[in-house]
């Protein structure tokens, strides 16, 4: 067994500024104890998100110089369209400025007031756009996904029995589609198995319900199928990605994750009539159907990034880095979501801060404490992110009260991971000194982005 390293070498760097603990204490207070409100210059290792923060390759940067900035019919659009067709199987696609724009359009196109949209655990923007279109999200993920210590290899799977119960209750004509995310973000980046996907495909066909794929991290999901599912060890990630997509009818994509670009997304589908309707709506909200809110250069970089993202060596290194950090924390006894996900290591704030009731926002407090300790920026994925029930106004209290250490693609080295692990272990050991938080300002929607807090 020989060691292996990343399949790239570094050609350009951005120098980082270091800060003192006093500067960080001041910065987090000014940011209202919300890591989203910190200046990036005050952040040392930025694990807030994997969205839009990956390093592009020299080929992608070269592609930026090939931007055909024609208003209509850009050559980059046709390159992107052909790439989506070939790599992801979808017959048609419309570019959007990013993922939530695709969710906005799709929700408006397919959901009528009073509809129900079942999905494998909620995602914040996905659920919000379903609700804004008059739909109600229904969680149909397997129960194990809500247990941070369950070692189930495919915790992203849909529990078909939950779908059967829903269709009994509300009838299939009120279910426009099943919303299936691969590598479920809020569950801890947990994959869906191909077997479950095939079952879901049959269910949707039988009940005449569309199967819509949130394919934001589909390449990472493919890697877990290759590693964990019988019959896939010898298949390429590219082939598994194609097989996953081909089982679905349409997709929303935030290209800011797996597809290695800083901005961009798309809505894809097979049905020509849905494509026509999407084009008619895209010109209202995003731009002409051949640019959808993106410059030509962005579409070129995305087409190139898509191909790089489904390369086995790329994905092996990407997932390997997340696993490296997860293993270090696990070995030190830090409570994390198991199995380690594809894009992040999720700290179990409930177990790290048992003395902080969920009403006092433990994950928010832990993320702030981690930043003060080392300048590592993480993201709250607990009760603050879960928000309030749209109908009752009551807080959701999710079983998963997590802090997400999200690893950008091709950005940080193993030494950075060691620094992160050291800080997380230190903060976990000092956890008793961490106090809860309360809202000072609570936005109406997606409150975690701009909410401000103070220690109680
Ligand atoms: C599975 C999925 C996503 O992960 C996703 C985005 N994700 C982000 C950015 C973000 C989004 C929502 C938050 O509550 C959040 F705090 C962070 C992230 O960090 O994970 C989108 C939306 O794609 P857009 O960001 O291109 O519009 C759709 N689907």
pLDDT in tens, 114-133: 999 999 999 999 999 999 99
Spatial separation of the C-alpha atoms in residues 214 and 158, rounded to whole Å? 14
How would you classify the pairing of strands 250-254 and 210-214? parallel
Active site residues: 71, 123-124, 214, 257, 381, 448
Spatial separation of the C-alpha atoms in residues 144 and 265, rounded to whole Å? 30
Write out the H or E segment, with its range, that includes residue 403.
strand 402-406
pLDDT mean over 313-339: 98
3-state secondary structure of 175: coil
Of 37, 95, 99, the one to substitute when testing ligand 1's pocket (max ligand atoms within 8 A of C-beta) is 99
Query: What atom in ligand 1 is closest to the CA of residue 446?
Result: 14
Q: Which residues of 36-47 are buried (b: 16+ CB within 10 A; e: fewer)?
A: bebeeebbbbbb
What confidence tens digit (pLDDT) does each residue in 364-403 have? 999 999 999 999 999 999 999 999 998 999 999 999 999 9
Using the structure block, give the residue that is written with the tokens 């960080």: 24
Q: Phi and psi of 404, rounded to 5°?
A: -95, 120
DSSP label of 413: -
Q: Do 295 and 302 form a contact (C-beta atoms < 8 A)?
A: no
- Expressed in angstroms and rounded, the spacing between residue 51 Cα and the centre of ligand 1 is 7
Of 122, 123, 344, 449, the one to substitute when testing ligand 1's pocket (max ligand atoms within 8 A of C-beta) is 123
Give residue 434's pLDDT band: very low, low, confident or very high (50, 70, 90).
Answer: very high
Spatial separation of the C-alpha atoms in residues 323 and 315, rounded to whole Å? 12
Q: Phi and psi of 306, rounded to 5°?
A: -60, -45
Query: What atom in ligand 1 is closest to the CA of residue 181?
Result: 1
Q: What count of residues does the chain have? A: 456
Using the structure block, give the residue that is written with the tokens 């931007």: 67
What confidence tens digit (pLDDT) does each residue in 28-75 have? 999 999 999 999 999 999 999 999 999 999 999 999 999 999 999 999
Pair of tokens at residue 63: 């592609």
pLDDT mean over 263-275: 98
pLDDT of residue 167: 98
pLDDT mean over 210-218: 98
DSSP label of 186: G
pLDDT mean over 436-450: 97
- Expressed in angstroms and rounded, the spacing between residue 258 Cα and the centre of ligand 1 is 12
pLDDT mean over 429-437: 98
Query: What atom in ligand 1 is closest to the CA of residue 449?
Result: 16
Query: What atom in ligand 1 is closest to the CA of residue 256?
Result: 26
Going by alpha carbons, the residue nearest to atom 4 of ligand 1 is 185
Write out the H or E segment, with its range, that includes residue 94.
strand 92-96
Spatial separation of the C-alpha atoms in residues 40 and 26, rounded to whole Å? 14
Going by alpha carbons, the residue nearest to atom 8 of ligand 1 is 51
pLDDT mean over 153-162: 98
- Expressed in angstroms and rounded, the spacing between residue 231 Cα and the centre of ligand 1 is 32
Going by alpha carbons, the residue nearest to atom 2 of ligand 1 is 216
Number of other residues whose CB lies within 10 A of the CB of residue 59: 12
- Expressed in angstroms and rounded, the spacing between residue 401 Cα and the centre of ligand 1 is 18
pLDDT of residue 415: 98
What confidence tens digit (pLDDT) does each residue in 159-194 have? 999 999 999 999 999 999 999 999 999 999 999 999
- Expressed in angstroms and rounded, the spacing between residue 403 Cα and the centre of ligand 1 is 15
pLDDT of residue 103: 98
3-state secondary structure of 377: strand
- Burial class of residue 425, CB neighbours in 10 A (0-12, 13-18, 19+): middle
- Expressed in angstroms and rounded, the spacing between residue 262 Cα and the centre of ligand 1 is 13
Number of other residues whose CB lies within 10 A of the CB of residue 230: 8
Of 254, 379, 407, 450, the one to substitute when testing ligand 1's pocket (max ligand atoms within 8 A of C-beta) is 254
What confidence tens digit (pLDDT) does each residue in 96-117 have? 999 999 999 999 999 999 999 9
Give residue 1's pLDDT band: very low, low, confident or very high (50, 70, 90).
Answer: confident
Pair of tokens at residue 421: 């692990």
Going by alpha carbons, the residue nearest to atom 7 of ligand 1 is 51
Spatial separation of the C-alpha atoms in residues 338 and 336, rounded to whole Å? 6
Q: How far is CA 419 from CA 44, 67, 255, 290, 318, in A?
A: 10, 39, 29, 44, 18
Q: According to the 3-state scheme, what is the secondary structure of 102-164? A: HHHHHHHHHCCCCCEEEECCCCHHHHHHHHHCCCEEEECECHHHHCCCCCCCCCCCECHHHHH
ipTM confidence score: 0.98
Q: Helix H segments across 7-135?
A: 21-30, 58-64, 75-88, 99-110, 124-132
pLDDT of residue 108: 98
What confidence tens digit (pLDDT) does each residue in 242-264 have? 999 999 999 999 999 999 999 99
- Burial class of residue 263, CB neighbours in 10 A (0-12, 13-18, 19+): middle
- pTM of whole model > 0.90? yes
Q: Helix H segments across 312-374?
A: 312-331, 349-352, 362-374
- Expressed in angstroms and rounded, the spacing between residue 338 Cα and the centre of ligand 1 is 21
- Expressed in angstroms and rounded, the spacing between residue 378 Cα and the centre of ligand 1 is 14
Query: What atom in ligand 1 is closest to the CA of residue 379?
Result: 16
Q: Which residues line ligand 1 (CB under 6 A)?
A: 49, 51, 98-100, 123-126, 181, 185, 214, 216, 254, 256, 265, 379, 385, 448
Pair of tokens at residue 384: 């603050």
How would you classify the pairing of strands 177-181 and 210-214? parallel
How would you classify the pairing of strands 250-254 and 376-377? unpaired
Pair of tokens at residue 50: 């994997």
Of 216, 217, 293, 447, the one to substitute when testing ligand 1's pocket (max ligand atoms within 8 A of C-beta) is 216
Spatial separation of the C-alpha atoms in residues 180 and 209, rounded to whole Å? 12
- Give all strands (DSSP E) within 194-338, no chain letters: 210-214, 250-254, 265-269
């Amino acid at each position: 067994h020989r060691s292996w390293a990343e399949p790239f070498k570094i050609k350009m760097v951005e120098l980082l500024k270091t800060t003192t603990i006093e500067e960080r204490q001041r910065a987090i207070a000014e940011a209202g104890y919300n890591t989203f409100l910190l200046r990036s210059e005050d952040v040392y290792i930025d694990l807030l998100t994997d969205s839009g923060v990956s390093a592009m390759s020299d080929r992608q940067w070269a592609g930026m110089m090939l931007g055909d900035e024609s208003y209509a019919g850009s050559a980059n659009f046709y390159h992107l369209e052909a790439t989506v067709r070939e790599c992801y199987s979808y017959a048609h696609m419309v570019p959007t400025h990013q993922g939530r724009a695709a969710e906005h359009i799709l929700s408006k196109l397919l959901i009528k007031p009073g509809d129900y949209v079942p999905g494998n655990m909620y995602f914040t923007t996905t659920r919000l756009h379903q609700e804004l279109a008059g739909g109600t999200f229904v969680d149909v993920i397997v129960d194990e996904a809500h247990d941070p210590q369950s070692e189930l290899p495919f915790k992203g799977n849909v529990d078909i029995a939950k779908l059967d119960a829903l269709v009994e209750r509300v009838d299939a004509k009120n279910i426009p589609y099943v919303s299936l995310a691969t590598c479920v973000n809020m569950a801890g980046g947990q994959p869906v198995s191909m077997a479950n996907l095939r079952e879901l495909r049959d269910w949707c066909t039988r009940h005449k319900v569309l199967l819509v794929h949130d394919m934001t991290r589909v390449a990472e999901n493919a890697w877990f199928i290759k590693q964990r599912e019988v019959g896939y060890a010898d298949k390429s990630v590219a082939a598994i990605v194609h097989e996953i997509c081909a089982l679905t009818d349409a997709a929303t994509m935030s290209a800011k994750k797996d597809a290695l670009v800083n901005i961009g997304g798309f809505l894809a589908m097979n049905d020509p009539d849905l494509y026509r309707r999407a084009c008619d709506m895209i010109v209202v909200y995003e731009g002409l159907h051949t640019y959808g809110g993106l410059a030509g250069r962005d579409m070129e970089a995305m087409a190139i990034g898509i191909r790089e993202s489904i390369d086995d060596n790329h994905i092996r290194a990407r997932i390997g880095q997340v696993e490296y950090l997860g293993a270090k924390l696990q070995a030190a006894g830090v409570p994390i979501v198991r199995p380690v996900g594809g894009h992040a290591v999720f700290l179990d704030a409930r177990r790290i801060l048992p003395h902080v009731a969920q009403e006092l926002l433990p994950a928010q407090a832990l993320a702030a404490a981690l930043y003060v300790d080392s300048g590592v920026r993480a993201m709250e994925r607990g009760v603050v992110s879960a928000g309030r029930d749209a109908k009752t106004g009551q807080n959701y209290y999710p079983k998963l009260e997590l802090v997400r250490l999200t690893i950008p693609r091709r950005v940080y080295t193993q030494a950075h991971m060691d620094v992160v692990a050291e800080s997380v272990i230190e903060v976990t050991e000092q956890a008793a000194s961490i106090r809860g938080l309360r809202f000072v300002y609570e936005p109406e929607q997606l409150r975690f982005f701009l909410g401000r807090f103070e220690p109680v």
